[in-house]
Chains A and B, each alone.
Chain A
Amino acid sequence: MSGWSVTDGLAVALPRESVDTDQLIPARFMSVSRADGYGPYLLHDMRRDETGVRLTDFPLNRAPKTKILVARRNFGSGSSREAAVFALVDFGIRVVIAPSFGDIFSGNAVNNGLLPLVLPPETVEALLSDLSEAADEMTVDLGRGQVRFRNRVYEFTLPEVWREKLLNGWDDIDLTISRAEAIAAYRDRRMSAAPWVWPEK
């Protein structure tokens, strides 16, 4: 995964609360291999009618080049399915802006280069209102911690871990393996303190 520092692109309004993981990607598509891409399944049942035809008035269908999604509170609540993030990322989305996110979703997002950006509810409502008619250009700048939209600048701060990961596209496994000694030492301690963790059966 490659890192990024600035995302410039179309922002789209999805003025809904609790866009949960089952809506982001319905369970029936989760046996798909990642190599085949998850973009077509993003918000599948919201974007398409019963026969699978895309609804022309749905915001994402009107702006298929969207990079930034703006939604209401509790975005990504629900299951730990990383496929919800795969669907957003494979569609081309790099940033979701909302007043709050599901915790597991946020972690999954950052692990895939997607920024779950928390902004205050009033700011989100203002953005939703500005974007209600049509998608518009927005800039999200990780380095400066800024959202730039029309003539306005919104500041944000991120947990340092997230910022580093998104900027560098780091893979945790490599970072962790560099601590193999500490892990091995802990394992020895754990095994002597709680040997039953390694079952006798």
Chain B
Amino acid sequence: MSPLTLFDKLWNAHEITRRSDGSSLLWVDRHLVHEGSHHAFARLAARGAKIAEPQLTYAVVDHYAPTRGRDAIPAGDIRKMIETLECNADLHGLKIFGLKDPDQGIVHVVGPEQGLTLPGMTVNCGDSHTSTHGALGALAFGIGATEVAHVMATQTIWQMRPKVLRITVEGCMRAGVGAKDLALHWIALLGADGARGHAIEYAGSTVRALSMEGRMTLCNLSIEGGARLGMVAPDEATFAYVEGRTYAPKAAHWEQALEIWRALPSDEGAVFDREVEIDAAAIAPTVTWGTSPEEALPITAAIPDPTKLAGTKAERVRDSLEYMGLTAGRPLAGTPVDQVFIGSCTNGRIEDLRLAAAVLAGRKAKVPGMVAPGSTLVKAQAEQEGLDRIFREAGLDWVASGCSMCVGMNGDLVEAGKRCASSTNRNFKGRQGRGARTHLMSPAMVAAAAVTGTLSDVRPLLEGRL
């Protein structure tokens, strides 16, 4: 048999049938729903249909989760959205990770953390950052409301088979440089639509050396480069992460699962539709300066000058700089920020908080900011390690878990014209609030911005601290 990629193996194992037009019907092992799934529940109700596999469907309150005052949410849209999900979960007999659940958190943090996401699975959720779960060696992708309703009703989904892109990263990343920098680096290199139509497999020694948290950050951002999904082949680090988690297989099933999972990595000689190679040593701490994730540069660079560019490219840069309130040609470092945010499905895990705390320990933030852990379990872990004290003593707010200021649906917003150093995933216009100016970067870089009050290279601030 010809050698297969990880993607081929996962796709083939879940393909139920294929239509003459080339689209495949895939089985969905795990379906995760959240408040935003209200459209799909409404569609299901309109058909009088039930959820096909309640045992494979899990509900999580995250997008609208208040980060403060959870015990008394005032009447209004936010409460309505949360109550609607609770009612729907109850109606369909779904396990829900609600606001009072000690396991609540952002859906893409909760899935892996609970062992709901496992190697070899297909995972769907009505959220583009579902690509995060690919870090465990799963085929995980975001879908729209119509598709969510389809998965609810049938536990299957129609998909055209994407092409497969392998991004191989070799070498050692320098101190103070991590998965977030690597992701922003490749997106800047290939473009925000650079991986359109592709599933990405991240490979190479640098990726192997990443922690599971780092792999999740990397896979999470696949969508920002236009990819359908991102994956890392499961290895011993994956198995060590999964073992013992609440919903992970136990005893004989664990042994049986391991045997299957060990056969998942791409075969020697497997052919990819496209290959990109990246030198890890060439990556610097990276920040975005514009309004698309592709508009990212090393912190040591200068703000792009549209007069040195031509045509639509110049137009685009001019538009971004105007929205961001930046001056062409000036150094990126030193740009004053108004506030900082640490959290999100991209960088709200324990390792992210540890890194930010390493920068902030014994220092004061010059600007206000907020730290929202990715899950209630991450929050508890951080408190046990005393990280919350470091954040608080630095002057930052330590709040409850949810999507929070990444998307602002819960009311955590950045005011118009304010500049926010953010560990999130999208610097789109208005993403953190109308007129808000978002700079994406790693949690360590956000901490550096907090300490200096400006966009700053974190490396000197980390000396002797890692």
> Which A residues form the contact surface with B (CB < 8 A)?
15-18, 20-23, 26-28, 30-31, 33-34, 45, 50, 72-74, 77-83, 85, 100-104, 107-108, 111-112, 125, 159-161, 164, 172-173, 176-177, 179, 182-183, 186-187, 190, 193-201
Q: Using an 8 Å CB-CB cutoff, how does the interface string of B117-129 with A read, 1 for contact, 0 for none? A: 0101100001110
Q: Report the bound CA distance from A193 to B312 in whole Å.
A: 53
Q: A78-B223, A104-B144 are in contact. List 12 more A-B contacts (CB 8 A).
A: A27-B409, A28-B409, A30-B36, A31-B80, A50-B434, A77-B292, A104-B142, A104-B143, A108-B147, A172-B158, A182-B25, A183-B155
**Residues of chain B within 8 A of A34, CB atoms compared:** 39, 42
Nearest CB in chain A to that of B248: its residue = A196
Tell me if A194 and B260 are in contact (CB < 8 A): yes
B33 to chain A, nearest CB (A): 12
Binds A, one of B189-197, B334-342, B442-450: B189-197
Tell me if B147 and A190 are in contact (CB < 8 A): no
A79 with B127, Cβ < 8 A, contacts A31-B80, A74-B192, A183-B155 known: yes
Tell me if A195 and B155 are in contact (CB < 8 A): no
**Residues of chain A within 8 A of B80, CB atoms compared:** 31
Tell me if A161 and B146 are in contact (CB < 8 A): no
Tell me if A17 and B316 are in contact (CB < 8 A): yes
Q: Report the bound CA distance from A74 to B291 in whole Å.
A: 13
**Residues of chain A within 8 A of B126, CB atoms compared:** 80
**Residues of chain B within 8 A of A77, CB atoms compared:** 192-193, 226, 292
A183 to chain B, nearest CB (A): 6
Tell me if A183 and B430 are in contact (CB < 8 A): no
Tell me if A74 and B55 are in contact (CB < 8 A): no
Among A31, A74, A195, find the residue whose CB has the most chain B CB atoms closer than 10 A.
Answer: A31
Q: Which of A81, A161, A179, A194 contacts B17 (CB 8 A)?
A: A179
**Residues of chain A within 8 A of B257, CB atoms compared:** 194, 196
**Residues of chain A within 8 A of B253, CB atoms compared:** 195-196, 200
Q: Report the bound CA distance from A78 to B380 in whole Å.
A: 31
Tell me if B55 and A179 are in contact (CB < 8 A): no
Q: Report the bound CA distance from A100 to B64 in whole Å.
A: 31
CB of B113 closer than 8 Å to a CB of A: no
Nearest CB in chain B to that of A160: its residue = B21
A-B contacts, 26 of them at CB < 8 A, read A17-B292, A20-B292, A21-B428, A22-B431, A23-B430, A27-B408, A34-B42, A45-B430, A82-B39, A83-B145, A102-B193, A102-B196, A102-B226, A104-B128, A112-B146, A125-B312, A161-B23, A173-B149, A176-B154, A187-B155, A193-B260, A196-B253, A196-B256, A197-B30, A198-B56, A199-B116
A103 with B144, Cβ < 8 A, contacts A80-B126, A81-B36, A172-B158 known: no
Interface size class of B (residues with CB under 8 A): 35 or more
Tell me if A22 and B21 are in contact (CB < 8 A): no
- In chain B, positions 246-274 with a C-beta closer than 8 Å to chain A are 246-250, 253-254, 256-257, 260
**Residues of chain A within 8 A of B146, CB atoms compared:** 82, 108, 111-112, 172
Tell me if A161 and B19 are in contact (CB < 8 A): yes
**Residues of chain A within 8 A of B49, CB atoms compared:** 173
Q: Report the bound CA distance from A72 to B254 in whole Å.
A: 50
Tell me if A22 and B144 are in contact (CB < 8 A): no
**Residues of chain A within 8 A of B228, CB atoms compared:** 103-104
Tell me if A186 and B429 are in contact (CB < 8 A): no
**Residues of chain A within 8 A of B316, CB atoms compared:** 17
Q: Which of A177, A186, A195 contacts B16 (CB 8 A)?
A: A186
Q: Report the bound CA distance from A27 to B409 in whole Å.
A: 6
B19 to chain A, nearest CB (A): 7
B153 to chain A, nearest CB (A): 5
Q: Report the bound CA distance from A51 to B254 in whole Å.
A: 58
**Residues of chain B within 8 A of A101, CB atoms compared:** 196
Q: Using an 8 Å CB-CB cutoff, how does the interface string of B278-319 with A read, 1 for contact, 0 for none? A: 000000000000011000000000000000000010011001
